Amino acid sequence: MIETKNVTKTFDSFTALDNVSLSIPKGTAYGLIGSNGAGKSTLLRLLSGVYKAESGQVHIDGENVYDNAKVKARVFFINDETVQYNSYTLKELKNYYKLFYDNFSEDIFNKLHATLKLPMTKKISSFSKGMKRQAAVICGIACKTDYLLLDEAFDGLDPTMRIIVKKMLVDAMIDNDLTVLLSSHNLKEINEFCDRAGLIHQGKFVFDRELDNIKGNIHKIQTAFDKPITKEDFADIDILHIDITGSIVYIIARGDAGELRSKIDKHNPKIYDILPLTLEEIFVYEMEVLGYDYSGVTGE
């Protein structure tokens, strides 16, 4: 389990993370969402022991991460930047990781490598961005750590590669009970692959939810009445957003779909439709309720 308690990290006068607390259960695929500069990479670097927090605690399975070789051997971090490996060939990189990670599996490496067919003896500096990412991913999975952190997970990978990488992650989750923490701008990817997601905005951790719960519990309703209707008529509903134009009412509300229906049925609607909400819309309204402006959170 990954756990941070009241973690703050500053760079000179800039507060990159402000009092962040989160916990990620073992075996989860966790998606970290936020705009550029929100603090996602800083958080991942703290979790992998690259940075030390000024205050607060960063724990993995109950142990401090920073300067703790034992814990760090169980975490693999795929950095957003791969420049540090440029002077190695993939073969050298593999041998380098083998030194640090006791569980490194030559077998898994070869299997993954057979799918991707990256050159083994060319310098990584000659690789394209996508190839560098692939190299890092196969090394990361072959190290068989308990935790895999991916910064900008699918960045620079073409659609076919995204599929292959996801398949690799599925295998590792089933075979090794791998916990995956990935940051991404891409909500579709997070929606499909993650159990939980957290949203970071300007260094603050805005919220953290199990995706199935938020999705099953928030609804967009379009309804219409043949009598004047006001917001007060729906006082018994947990409304996130309401828009009344004449007799047509749009409601975004939390709650069970059946209960919402019966509460609205009391007013004899002439039309009643539950419309699908995208994950993006859910986040927009959740943030609106918390008093944040969502614009730009997932903007590229």
Partner 1 sequence: MFSINIQGGKPIYEQLYTRISELILSGSMAPDEKLPPIREVAKDMGINPNTVQKTYQLLEQNGLIYSVPAKGSYVCKLTEESDALASLRKKSITQFKESAINAINHGVSAKTLHEEIDSIKEKQQ
Q: Name the residues that contact partner 1, by CB under 8 A.
A: 27-29, 162-163, 166-167, 170-171, 173-174, 187-188, 191-195, 211-212, 215-216, 218, 220, 270-273, 276-282
Concatenated DSSP letters of 170-230: HHHHHHH--EEEEEES-HHHHHHH-SEEEEEETTEEEEEEEHHHHHHTEEEEEEE-SS---
Q: Which is nearer to partner 1, 20 or 150 (CB)?
A: 150
Residues in the chain: 300
How far is 57 from 118, CA to CA, in rounded Å? 39
Q: Which is nearer to partner 1, 53 or 165 (CB)?
A: 165
How far is 206 from 85, CA to CA, in rounded Å? 34
Q: Which residues contact 36 (CB under 8 A, 6 or more apart)?
A: none
How far is 184 from 62, CA to CA, in rounded Å? 26
Take residue 228 and report the two structure tokens written for it: 């004047």
To the nearest whole angstrom, how small is the minimum distance from the Cβ of residue 89 to partner 1?
Answer: 30
To the nearest whole angstrom, how small is the minimum distance from the Cβ of residue 162 to partner 1?
Answer: 8
Q: Which is nearer to partner 1, 200 or 218 (CB)?
A: 218
To the nearest whole angstrom, how small is the minimum distance from the Cβ of residue 86 to partner 1?
Answer: 31
Q: Which is nearer to partner 1, 187 or 239 (CB)?
A: 187
Q: Which is nearer to partner 1, 63 or 238 (CB)?
A: 238
To the nearest whole angstrom, how small is the minimum distance from the Cβ of residue 223 to partner 1?
Answer: 11
To the nearest whole angstrom, how small is the minimum distance from the Cβ of residue 193 to partner 1?
Answer: 5
Q: Which is nearer to partner 1, 137 or 194 (CB)?
A: 194
Q: Which is nearer to partner 1, 210 or 243 (CB)?
A: 210
**Closest alpha carbon to 139 in 174, 162, 108:** 108
To the nearest whole angstrom, how small is the minimum distance from the Cβ of residue 232 to partner 1?
Answer: 24
DSSP 89: B
**Closest alpha carbon to 199 in 278, 79, 253, 280:** 280
To the nearest whole angstrom, how small is the minimum distance from the Cβ of residue 168 to partner 1?
Answer: 9
Contact 101, 145 (CB under 8 A): yes
